[in-house]
Amino acid sequence: MTLSFAQKPTLVGDRVLLRPVGAGDVDGLVELLVDPESNRLTGTHAVFDPESAADLEKAERWYTSRDDHDDRLDLAIVEREGGTYVGEVVLKELDTDNRACGFRISLVGPRAFGRGYGTEATRLIVGHAFETVGVNRIELEVFDFNPRARHVYEKVGFVHEGTKRQALRWDDEWVDTHMMAIVASDWRRQS
């Protein structure tokens, strides 16, 4: 069977629920894109202008077209109680030959940070990838100035595999990027 992210699931945790992103989440995406701290922590150089009709249209197009892609899975992270959008978590660049994919996550700034949402969302989507989809390896990159994210990834079982020195230029400084990954046998061992 060919590996695919064509199925877009809803994954239910204690604090958050993950479900496919859609038109109703565009305001949340815009909040993410204009947040300077989220942009720094994700190394996002592109400037999003919330006053620009073209930028807003691009954001809307992005969130309304994710279902068309079977090589990635873009899920909104919403509070289980109330259903408020608090961010997104993504499995991307599915490599069907090697049963591997990339990972990214971003929460909407201080209103969502540090409440256990990131850890739970990461566990939910990683569990889905290994247990339902049949992925064998999930990899990510985290900047040296983001120890909170690294701690979350280590808690979930990601292992540091190497460092790309001075891979990011931010505020006139060089920043190292750490490569981390988790493989299915790590996940099975700890489950």
Ligand X SMILES: CC(C)(COP(=O)(O)OP(=O)(O)OC[C@H]1O[C@@H](n2cnc3c(N)ncnc32)[C@H](O)[C@@H]1OP(=O)(O)O)[C@@H](O)C(=O)NCCC(=O)NCCS
Closest CA relative to residue 16, chosen from 87, 67, 104: 87
Which one, 41 or 181, has the nearer CB to ligand X? 41
Q: Among 45, 46, 114, 190, which residue interacts with ligand X (rule: CB under 6 A)?
A: 114
Ranges of H-type helices in the chain: 26-34, 36-41, 53-65, 117-128, 147-156, 184-190
DSSP per-residue codes, 67-98? GG-SS-EEEEEEETTT--EEEEEEEEEEETTT
Closest distance of CB 44 from ligand X, Å: 9
Q: Which helix (H) or strand (E) holds 158?
A: none
Site string for ligand X, 30-69 (x = CB under 6 A): --------x--xx---------------------------
Is residue 3 classed as helix, strand or coil in its secondary structure? Answer: coil
Whether 102 and 93 have beta carbons less than 8 Å apart is answered as yes
The contact pattern for ligand X, residues 73-102, with x = CB under 6 A and - = no contact, is --------------x---------------
Question: What letter does residue 10 receive in the DSSP assignment?
Answer: -
Q: Does 106 bind ligand X (CB under 6 A)?
A: yes
Provide the minimum distance between the beta carbon of 96 and ligand X in the complex, in angstroms, as a whole number.
24
Stretch that binds ligand X, among 49-57, 68-76, 125-133, 142-150 (CB under 6 A): 142-150
Q: Is 110 in the site for ligand X (CB under 6 A)?
A: no
Interacting residues toward ligand X by CB under 6 A: 38, 41-42, 87, 105-107, 113-119, 142, 146-149, 151-152, 155
